[in-house]
Amino acid sequence: MIKIIKIAFLLTGTMVLGSVATAQQQQAKPNEHEQHQQHSEQQKEQPAAQHEHEEHHDHSGHSMSKTTGPATDHTGEHDKDHSVDDKTHEHAIDHSKHNVESTEHGDMHHHHHMDHDHMMDHEGTMIMGQNLDKLPSSCKSISEEVEITVRAGRKYAGKFPGTAFAFDQQEWRVKPCAKVTFHFINEDQIRHQFMMHGLPKYLYKYGMFHLEVTGPKTVSGTIIAPGSDDTFLVHCDISHHMEKGMKAQFIVGKGSENIPSIPGLTPYNRTDIYEAENLPRVSDKANQSAMVREITKTFAKQDTQNYLIILLGALVGLLCIPLVKMLIPRKKTEK
Amino acid sequence: MPNPILIAVMVFYLATASITAQASLKLPQTIKVDRAALTAEPPCDPKISPAWREAQVIDGVKIDASPACSPDNPAWIAAAVKGTNNVSMDTLMKTGLSPDTIIKTDDLDGDGDPDRIIIKLEVMELNGKSPDFPGIVPTFDIAPGVQPGVWVFAPKGSGMSTENFESVRANPLLRLPAPVIRVEQGDIVQLVLENTHYFPHSIHLHGVDHPFMHKEHGGGDGVPQTSEIELMPGERRVYEFQPRQAGTMFYHCHVQTHTHLSMGLAGMIVVEENRPNNWLQTLNIGGGHVRHSSVAIKEKFDQEYDMHYHAMDKELGDIIQKYNDPRLIARDMNQRYDITDSTEDYYTINGLSFPYSLRESLIIVKPDQKIKLRLLNSGGEMIAIHTHGHHATITHYDGVEHNPVAQIMRDVFDMAPAQRLDLTLETTNDGKHSYGEGDWLIHDHREKGITTNGMAEGGSMSSIVYTSYLGEDGLPKTSHFGIDLSHFFTKEYWERRVPIWQDLDETANLGSPAGQTVSMDAATKNSLLNATYGLLIGILIYFIFSKREYIKQSVMTVISRNKDGKGSQQ
Ligand SMILES: [Cu+2]
Ligand SMILES: [Cu+2]
């Protein structure tokens, strides 16, 4: 009888196996293309309305940059005698008249790129997508005028373990239709950006407002917030600055959905795995006399550890004997 | 007794044997991969305008023609020659460079060219992990779909790291290799490192005449164990030097060099001989063809090419794709990665592997030319560069001229790590310098050097192509031999999913066999094995069940004996 059951079990086993194998082959295909198609969620924000009415305004006389720390290394260079003999190489822009003072009231005026929404000075300080006076269609008037100082630098990453760069704040709030001037202070000696995305495209080229400056230095720029509640991504787009902490959100009114992976504010979409590590500690040494140390050394050996565990197992087994004894007689009586 | 285990094994064997026998009667069909199923890329980068190939003058800078299919952006060359401080804003806006990336001023010796040169470099990560989406950013392919995690010195840029906000692809300035730097003998050079990366770095000027310690700016040699502390994220350091000797040299990061160099923080630096009116192309971004050579080179040569060979370990680059937290990356790189157990997987020339090397790093020649080749090996092993169809002359080792009388011709050039060789390639058809016109390969003759993560034909392979063998698109003409390179321009090829010989004949004799449901692939084997374990466990349980009375008894006796023993002791 038992033998027959056994054989039957065997046969069904082999049959099931065959079908499992086929199923596995058919499943192997999907899951490969995900990677490239997806991009971060926050980048999908589209302005609610996309109107097409372009106005052209002048925005003269806006202070652009001022040095807050020691001048960058080459500012002095422009003072020096430019005796470069330019026979074939004509200077499109004459640098010889530069002097250090020019940085104080913003180089922007007599210099460099100045189209409607892209201004840049000779050190790469940049204002893009500034809006001083174009009212969003959802606003009847400016609700408030606000000045926000944003500091950026490595030192602000200190309070967020696992980051490298950060802004001093991770969130700014204004009323709808507020006119906001950002003073972006870069306290590092490298480039940082204050880049806002998802603004209405009829007012902001690419829906973007962008300040960029090599520190230590300040750059200021103005926008007018949309008339409805919304939340905008602010980040630095230098490779891995956002990923390593330089990320924040600009909240208009009540805001909308939070933006992920802002340090101290919102969780990462994808987190790393952390494991406890065998790091040396002062306490390892401090409370141990020489003899204790000797003993722990032998205990720490792999073999000793194994034996200890076996011993432990045996003890547990011994403790269980009374239990077994209690069970067995009961069974016997049942029979 | 008729062992139940024996019966089980017999039945099992019979069942599988009969199925296998049936299958071998008819072998599976060949499945040919349909071309339409492949992600085909155009052989030439469609984002690059063919107008870039032409000889042209921008802002007064003469730029030589460069007929390869993806030549350098001529605006880069103009900005590098004039300096970003002198070039027109219109040209600068086409470069993506910052206006202070290359500052050229002060003709100190009065010979018609600037002698104070400031060059600003940043440190950029490519193909690193994002905490926002399951992918890497910003992406850079060394071959179609091949995206190792790398770091690189990049010329100081302006604006976004990606092409645009919708794209994850790195902007063209963020690429391997670190740019070739060209300065003139006697120039006062400030190489400014702005550490935009989340790890400490430095610059060591290997072979370039530089002070061990600069009075004003501190660190000179870039070594954290001798002359300077690590340059931390967010900090800037000026490396000032005034090189007295010309030559082909090397610069690289000297912090945790065993990983940082291989990660890509390495580039070529050339000190050119001092000549009047010597406006140099300060940066050759991407390496390759020099389209505005120095006065001294133009005196002797028809063309000049910078050829930077590099090698990378996949397992090292994977670390920045595994973690986002800099502490974990540091732990894995500094404490867990063991370079003595490592192997190199990617071999590049000027930052790219075959077939992308064909886009940028062809040596395009005409008969009877004299061509200057500058070679650098920044990989961790010896390489052996072989020129098909040519013998070239080694003129300089490590930037120092070899005694002209003793200079030798070779067709294999062995280069130790960090070594530089200057070669003179002459396309004179005499059976020695050149065997005549053709599309002649130039490749590392260690055979792994022509693979990409073990997949051939990849690696640092490129060609010396005579213009008579060059197609209109700038790629070597191969189709008239019936050669089709298009499968190399698909990511599926590098994913090892295309049987490479399937198209060599009509019947696809060496194509891929269809799978069979009964064939023993790994998964099936595994399930069979599991079933066998299950069987054995079942039998064991049955055995215990049937003998339960006996087991019970023996356990009881053991226990009672134990009890007795204890009792007697008391
Ligand atoms: Cu930044
Ligand atoms: Cu480094």
For residue B252, the ligand closest to its alpha carbon is 2
Buried b vs exposed e over B490-499: b needs ≥16 C-beta within 10 Å?
Answer: bbbbbeeebb
Q: Which among A6, A90, A113 has the least Cβ separation from residue B93?
A: A113
> In the predicted model, what is the mean pLDDT of residues B130-145?
96
pLDDT bin (cut points 50, 70, 90) of residue B541 is confident
> What integer pLDDT is reported at residue A32 of this predicted model?
38
> What integer pLDDT is reported at residue A37 of this predicted model?
40
Q: By mean pLDDT, which of B28-37, B63-72, B139-148 is the weakest? A: B28-37
> What integer pLDDT is reported at residue A183 of this predicted model?
98
More confident residue, A169 or B28: A169
> In the predicted model, what is the mean pLDDT of residues B121-148?
97
Tokens of B131: 């905490």
A window 96-115, beta carbon within 8 A of B: 112-113
**Residues of A with CB below 8 A from B135's CB?**
35-36, 38-39
Show the beta-strand stretches assigned E in A104-245: 114-115, 118-120, 126-128, 145-153, 166-167, 171-174, 179-186, 191-196, 209-214, 217-224, 230-235
> What integer pLDDT is reported at residue A309 of this predicted model?
66
The fraction of chain B above a pLDDT of 70, given in percent, is: 92
Q: Do B130 and A243 touch (CB under 8 A)?
A: yes
Helix (H) or strand (E) holding B319: helix B314-322
**Which CATH fold topology does B78-292+318-335 show?**
Immunoglobulin-like (2.60.40)
Q: For testing the chain A interface, which of B9, B81, B125, B133 should be mutated: the one with the most A CBs within 10 Å?
A: B133
Q: Do A126 and B158 touch (CB under 8 A)?
A: yes
**For residue B307, what are the β-bridge partners?**
B375
How many C-beta atoms surround the C-beta of residue A304 within 10 A?
12
Q: Which residue carries 């994220």 as its tokens?
A: B233
> How near does any CA of chain A get to the CA of B307, in Å?
26
**For residue B483, what are the β-bridge partners?**
none
3-state secondary structure B471-526: CCCCCECCHHHCCCCHHHHEHHHHCCCCCCCCCCCCCCCCCEECCCCCCCCHHHHH
Does A216 sit behind a cis peptide bond, omega within 30 degrees of 0 on the bond before it? yes
> What integer pLDDT is reported at residue B182 of this predicted model?
98
Instruction: For B369-417, write each residue's pLDDT tens digit.
Output: 999 999 999 999 999 999 999 999 999 999 999 999 999 999 999 999 9
More confident residue, B515 or A159: A159
pLDDT bin (cut points 50, 70, 90) of residue B550 is confident
> What integer pLDDT is reported at residue B520 of this predicted model?
59
Q: What are the residue ranges in chain A where pLDDT is below 70?
A: 1-116, 286-310, 313, 317, 322-335
Q: Which among A91, A261, A268 has the least Cβ separation from residue B86?
A: A91
Ligand 2 centroid to residue A161 C-alpha, Å: 22
Contacts of A97 (CB under 8 A, 6+ apart): none
| pLDDT averaged over every residue in chain B | 91
> How near does any CA of chain B get to the CA of A192, in Å?
9
**What ranges do the domains of chain B cover?**
4-28+516-569, 78-292+318-335
More confident residue, B349 or B553: B349
Q: Which residue carries 């005796």 as its tokens?
A: A83
More confident residue, B561 or B537: B537
For residue B254, the ligand closest to its alpha carbon is 2
Contacts of A244 (CB under 8 A, 6+ apart): A157, A163, A164, A165, B198, B324, B326
> What integer pLDDT is reported at residue A70 of this predicted model?
39
Cβ-contact B433, B426 below 8 angstroms: yes
For residue A188, the ligand closest to its alpha carbon is 1
Cβ-contact B117, B181 below 8 angstroms: no
> What integer pLDDT is reported at residue A282 of this predicted model?
87
Helix (H) or strand (E) holding B532: helix B522-546
Phi, psi of A312 (to 5 degrees): -60, -45
Q: Which residue carries 């990378």 as its tokens?
A: B312
More confident residue, A293 or B553: B553
> In the predicted model, what is the mean pLDDT of residues B498-517?
87
Does B457 sit behind a cis peptide bond, omega within 30 degrees of 0 on the bond before it? yes
Check: complex ipTM more than 0.90: no
> What integer pLDDT is reported at residue B564 of this predicted model?
60
Angstrom CA distances, A273 to A264, B317, B325, B329, stand at: 18, 18, 10, 12
Q: Do B118 and A77 touch (CB under 8 A)?
A: yes
Phi-psi category of A38—alpha, beta or left, where left has phi over 0 and alpha has psi -120 to 50?
Answer: beta
C-alpha count within 13 angstroms, C-beta hemisphere, residue B396: 21
Does A176 sit behind a cis peptide bond, omega within 30 degrees of 0 on the bond before it? no
Residue B112, pLDDT above cutoff 70 = yes
Torsional sign, CA B222, B224, B226, B229: positive
> What integer pLDDT is reported at residue B309 of this predicted model?
98
Ligand 2 centroid to residue B19 C-alpha, Å: 59
Q: Which among A92, A153, A162 has the least Cβ separation from residue B327?
A: A162
A window 197-256, beta carbon within 8 A of B: 197, 206, 208, 210, 212, 214, 237-241, 243-244
Q: For testing the chain B interface, which of A80, A85, A239 should be mutated: the one with the most B CBs within 10 Å?
A: A239
Cα gap A175→A78, rounded to integer Å: 44
Q: Read off the pTM.
A: 0.78
